């Protein structure tokens, strides 16, 4: 029998799922480190980053010398018969060779120079893409981890509630049997019990789904997870001004930076397309050697050497309208990238605004639900006492008891919502790092 509300710390421990777990429980950083190794999404992002690093040396090759060598050697057998009188047979075996080394150095190739600038932008953009994937992994792991903890807590609540209602149901049946209560009390308690059994089935299914979601990230089912301990005091964002976070997001959000890089690449693509109208100038040179120890019509050996160096100018005059078409295409794609950038900025603004509001709202909700838990427990104690003295019914107690469990669940959701909200807000401004996850991990216990 509950005679008075328990201390607030007890409820916070319950709401945060702070029950003792085996020491072998896995913590948030262990799961995250494994996700870094096993998650296909981050592995693909890392492979893409590695591949993109090769864009710059590939583009630079178009501005550097190009040297090639070719050679050929033949062994010839020549046989002929001159049908004269008398006939003359000619047979010769001789060798021939030919070798050439050629080189060219671009002096003016506007398109190649622009292409190299684009490649450098792509390499920079790849850093932002990888960082975005890393931040996304942090959020995904944290959300999935705390989803499992919340599902576990809901199961614990359902089991506790089922046990409490079961006791009420048993008492109602006993009271009915001895004639101090009506069948209505028994039926109401039975209905509550059946509803809780159905709810327990639902929350267990939800737990299985969330565990499977984590398995999709780390490639295996997790062991017991360490739970969030008490002592977490939700703090408001610093500074507690929405415009500050919105302004930072517009400048530093990783998706905005990715879109800005795409816009710069698109502008350079327009320049590169227009470069199709420009002439090219190369410094070219070659050195060749050829010789033989005979020939078809001669038995005299020969050996020749030659070299040349000069400038090669190519002036495009008409290419069937191809260059003009490429310019129009690149200009249209530039406009697309401009709109993509605007969309990224608006999305960043939305993420920062909702992230800021989410953190402040969650912090306020935690305080409100902490008090609500105390009030709900006090109401439950009063109703139990009222039932004992005959001024409250079984249904009154069951309804208030239901409110206690619902309020505990709401408090747990508020705590987890606050933790995830902080991560999302930092992600919106591009500052989310492993250190933020480590700070949360230090609050786990198990």
What residues does each domain of the chain span? 8-64+110-277+321-445
Q: Contact, 328 vs 127, CB < 8 A? A: no
Task: Please name the fold of domain 8-64+110-277+321-445.
Answer: Outer membrane efflux proteins (OEP) (1.20.1600)
Task: Tell the residue number behind the tokens 């227009």, with chain if given.
Answer: 274
Q: How far apart are CA 44 and CA 4, in angstroms?
A: 56
Q: How far apart are CA 43 and CA 35, in angstroms?
A: 10
What is the Cα 38 distance to its own chain's centre? 13
* Phi and psi, residue 443, nearest 5°: -90, 0
Q: What is the pLDDT along the chain (446 residues), one digit of tens a residue?
A: 333 333 334 344 444 444 433 445 899 999 999 999 999 999 999 999 999 999 999 999 999 999 999 999 988 888 788 888 788 777 878 888 999 999 999 999 999 999 999 999 999 999 999 999 999 999 999 999 999 999 999 998 888 888 877 877 787 788 777 776 678 778 877 888 888 899 899 999 999 999 999 999 999 999 899 988 776 789 999 999 999 999 999 999 999 999 999 999 999 999 999 999 999 999 999 999 998 887 777 777 888 899 999 999 999 999 999 999 999 999 999 999 999 999 999 999 999 999 999 999 999 999 999 999 999 999 989 988 887 787 887 677 777 888 888 898 899 899 999 999 999 999 999 999 999 999 999 888 75
Q: How far apart are CA 316 and CA 326, in angstroms?
A: 15
Provide the whole-model pTM: 0.83
Q: How far apart are CA 203 and CA 210, in angstroms?
A: 10
């Amino acid at each position: 029998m509950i005679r008075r509300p328990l201390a607030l710390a007890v409820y916070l421990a319950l709401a945060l799922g702070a029950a003792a777990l085996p020491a072998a429980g896995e913590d948030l950083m262990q799961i995250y480190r494994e996700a870094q190794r096993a998650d296909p999404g981050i592995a693909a992002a890392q492979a893409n980053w590695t591949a993109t690093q090769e864009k710059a040396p590939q583009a630079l090759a178009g501005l550097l010398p190009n040297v090639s060598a070719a050679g050929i050697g033949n062994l010839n057998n020549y046989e002929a018969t001159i049908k004269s009188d008398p006939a003359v047979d000619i047979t010769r075996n001789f060798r021939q060779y030919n070798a050439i080394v050629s080189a060219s150095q671009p002096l003016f190739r506007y398109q190649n120079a622009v292409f190299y600038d684009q490649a450098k932008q792509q390499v920079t953009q790849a850093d932002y893409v990888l960082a975005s994937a890393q931040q996304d992994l942090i959020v995904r792991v944290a959300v999935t981890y705390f989803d499992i903890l919340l599902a576990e807590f809901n199961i614990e609540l359902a089991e506790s509630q089922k046990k409490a209602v079961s006791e009420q149901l048993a008492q109602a049946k006993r009271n009915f049997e001895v004639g101090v209560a009506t069948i209505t009390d028994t039926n109401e308690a039975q209905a509550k019990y059946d509803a809780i059994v159905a709810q327990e089935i639902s929350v267990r299914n939800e737990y299985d789904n969330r565990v499977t979601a984590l398995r999709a990230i780390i490639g295996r089912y997790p062991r017991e997870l360490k739970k969030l301990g008490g002592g977490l005091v939700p703090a408001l964002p610093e500074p507690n001004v929405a415009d500050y976070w919105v302004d930072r997001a517009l400048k530093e959000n990783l998706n905005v930076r990715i879109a800005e890089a795409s816009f710069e690449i698109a502008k350079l693509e327009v320049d590169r397309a227009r470069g199709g109208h420009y002439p090219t100038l190369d410094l070219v040179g070659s050195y060749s050697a050829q010789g033989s120890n005979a020939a078809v019509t001669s038995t005299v050996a020969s050996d020749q050497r030659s070299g040349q160096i000069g400038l090669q100018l190519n002036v495009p005059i008409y290419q069937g309208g191809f260059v003009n078409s490429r310019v129009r295409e690149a200009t249209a794609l530039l406009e697309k990238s401009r709109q993509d950038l605007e969309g990224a900025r608006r999305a960043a603004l939305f993420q920062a605004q909702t992230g800021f509001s989410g953190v402040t709202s969650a912090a306020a909700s935690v305080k409100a639900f902490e008090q609500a838990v105390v009030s709900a427990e006090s109401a439950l104690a009063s109703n139990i006492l009222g039932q004992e003295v005959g001024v409250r019914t079984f249904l009154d107690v069951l309804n208030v008891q239901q409110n206690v469990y619902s309020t505990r669940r709401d408090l747990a959701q508020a705590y987890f919502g606050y933790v995830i909200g902080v991560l999302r807000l930092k992600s919106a401004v591009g500052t989310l790092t492993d250190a933020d996850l480590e700070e949360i991990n230090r609050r786990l216990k198990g």
